[in-house]
Structure 1
Amino acid sequence: YDPTMPPIFPLEKIEKTLPHRHPFLFVDKIIELSDTHIVGVKNVTFNEWFFPGHFPGNPVMPGVLQIEALAQTGGILCINSMPEGEYDTYFLKIDNCKFKQMVRPGDTMLLKMEFTGPIRRGICEMRGTVYVGGKVATEADLVAQVVKRP
C-alpha cells in the first residue's frame, strides 16, 4: 500500500455509494477496484468512539467493527458491479470468521474483499481479509444481498 497514491474512491464518493455516515462509516478510501475485488483503507485513530470502553487503558478495535469495515468495503464492490441505479447491501451471513491479531490505535487496516463466485439474483458471496502491518488480522466469508433503493 502506497499512502502517496490518490484514492480511486475518496470519502466523498464512498458517501455517494453507501448510506453509512460518521460515526458508523469504517472505510476512509478505496485504493483498488476491479470486477472481482476491492481494497479499502481504514486509519484507526485513538479518537474512535469505541476505544474509551473497549478497553480502558488497553484500546482494541472490536472484532465486530472490523467485520463491519469489511462489509462496507464489500458493499461498494457489490454495488459497483450492478447496472445503473442506486442500491443498498444487506448482509445475510458471515462464516469462518477468525481474529488473528489485535487492531489498535495508530494501525492502518487494509480491507480486501474478493468475490468467490458470480452474483446470482443479487446475492454476492465474498471472502474478506483485514491486513495490518502486512499481516492478516481478521478474515471471514460474507454473503450480501444487493437491493435497489425505492
Structure 2
Amino acid sequence: MNQEEIKKILPHRDNMLLVEESEVVDEVTAKGRYTIKGDEFFLQGHFPGNPVVPGVILCEMMGQASCCLLADKVSDCTPYFTKMNNV
C-alpha cells in the first residue's frame, strides 16, 4: 500500500503522516516504511547533535503502518490507535 492508498484510510497528512508504505505480512502482522530525512519536526531539539526518533513517534509510526490490516474493515469511519501493552 503506497502513501496515497494509506491516505484513504487514515486522516493524517503532512507533518503527521509518518508512513510511506505499508504491507500485510499475515492476517495479524503488518510492516511499514518511512525514510528519515533529518529535518523532521520531531528530531528538532531531541538529543541535539545526535538526533533520535522519540519513542512516542515510533509508536505512532507503528500504529499508522498497521492501517493496511484495517483496509477492508473500515469505511466511513476514522480508525483510532487507542491502546498499547508492554511498550
TM interval, short-chain normalised = 0.7 to 0.9
Residue matched to 2:51: 59
CA contact (8 A) 2:2 2:21 kept: yes
Runs of 4+ in 1 over 3 A off after TM superposition: none
SS of the residue 2:81 aligns to: strand
Residue matched to 2:41: 49
TM-score by length of 2: 0.83
Note the residue ranges of structure 1 that are not aligned, 5 or more in a row. Answer: 1-8, 98-150
Q: Are positions 1:10 and 2:2 aligned together?
A: yes
Number of aligned residues: 86
Whose helix fraction is larger, Structure 1's or Structure 2's?
A: 2
Q: CA deviation at 1:70?
A: 0.6
* Rg (Cα) greater in structure: 1
The one of 77, 84, 87 aligned to 1:87:
77
Q: CA RMSD in A?
A: 1.7
1:46-125 paired onto structure 2 within 5 Å:
46-77=38-69, 79-82=70-73, 85-97=75-87
SS of the residue 2:57 aligns to: helix
Amino acid at match of 1:94: M
SS of the residue 2:44 aligns to: coil
Amino acid at match of 1:87: C
Whose strand fraction is larger, Structure 1's or Structure 2's?
A: 1
SS of the residue 2:63 aligns to: helix
